[in-house]
Amino acid sequence: MDIYNPFSILNTFAKKRFGDYWFETGTPTFLVELMKGCGYNLKKLMREYATADSLNGLETFRKNPVPILYQSGYLTIKDYDSRFKTYILGFPNKEVEDGFMEFLLPSYTGMDNSEATFGIMNFVKDIESGDTDAFMKRLTTFFADTPYELARDLELHYQNVMFILFKMLGFYTQAEYHTSDGRIDMVVKTPDYIYVMEFKLDGTAEEAMRQIESKDYALPFECDGRKLVKVGVNFSYEKRNVERWIVK
């Protein structure tokens, strides 16, 4: 079930253009600081699970931001598992999702709003033109500019920033994102290119590339017709940044 907000619809007709009208009525600064403070994995925003009791109670919000995200309208009920009496939550509509991601990026990177907007634009231009090295150099600068205090849990920080980045790239391209312990893998599709990316934390770029090839991550796209680009990347805990990447 998607939610269509009357405030947004009325503004759309009045101004004759789509916009984040509901989101503009208030900024979720408190919620973002809460998620950062309790170490929330942002990927869970796409499919969060909760019981009725947890949604109605705010007493544990400093450890779990989900009840406040739900009660403030940033998450809504998308489905219900009657067997386990569990609600499945997600963003109510694309307006809320887009606006929330745009707000999260400067909050998690220390960039201001204009820098974040132009940064995403340049990332999109890099991958659409096939300039993988420019994309990776931009990503390295992206992490280098992140304040030290924002990256105390380095692996979760990398996962959260990459999730926001690739969600926002997904507004302009097709981007899929998966994570597990010590690694992140992504597939990004543009009109002319398909990128298969593997990210390691304190491994090597060679290990990342070997995993792409040994697991045949690129195999489903070999007959697609678009140019296939494989990228193996290693993040260094010591450097707190991208250490090396390989492109094939």
pLDDT at residue 22 greater than cutoff 80: no
Alpha-carbon distance 248 to 76, whole Å?
Answer: 42
Beta bridge partners of 150: none
Q: Are residues 184 and 226 in the same domain?
A: yes
Q: Are residues 90 and 176 in the same domain?
A: no
Q: Are residues 114 and 209 in the same domain?
A: yes
Q: Are residues 119 and 193 in the same domain?
A: yes
Let me know if residue 116 belongs to a domain: yes
- Residue 43 sits in which domain range? 6-95
Let me know if residue 100 belongs to a domain: no
pLDDT at 27: 63
- Would you say the C-alpha torsion 15, 18, 22, 23 has a positive or negative sign? negative
Q: What is the pTM of this model?
A: 0.77
pLDDT digits (tens, 9 = 90+) for 199-247: 988 999 999 999 999 988 899 999 999 999 999 999 988 888 899 999 9
**Count of the separate structural domains present in the chain:** 2
Q: Are residues 91 and 116 in the same domain?
A: no
Let me know if residue 49 belongs to a domain: yes
Burial of 158 (C-beta count, 10 Å sphere; 0-12/13-18/19+): buried
Q: Are residues 129 and 193 in the same domain?
A: yes
Let me know if residue 104 belongs to a domain: no
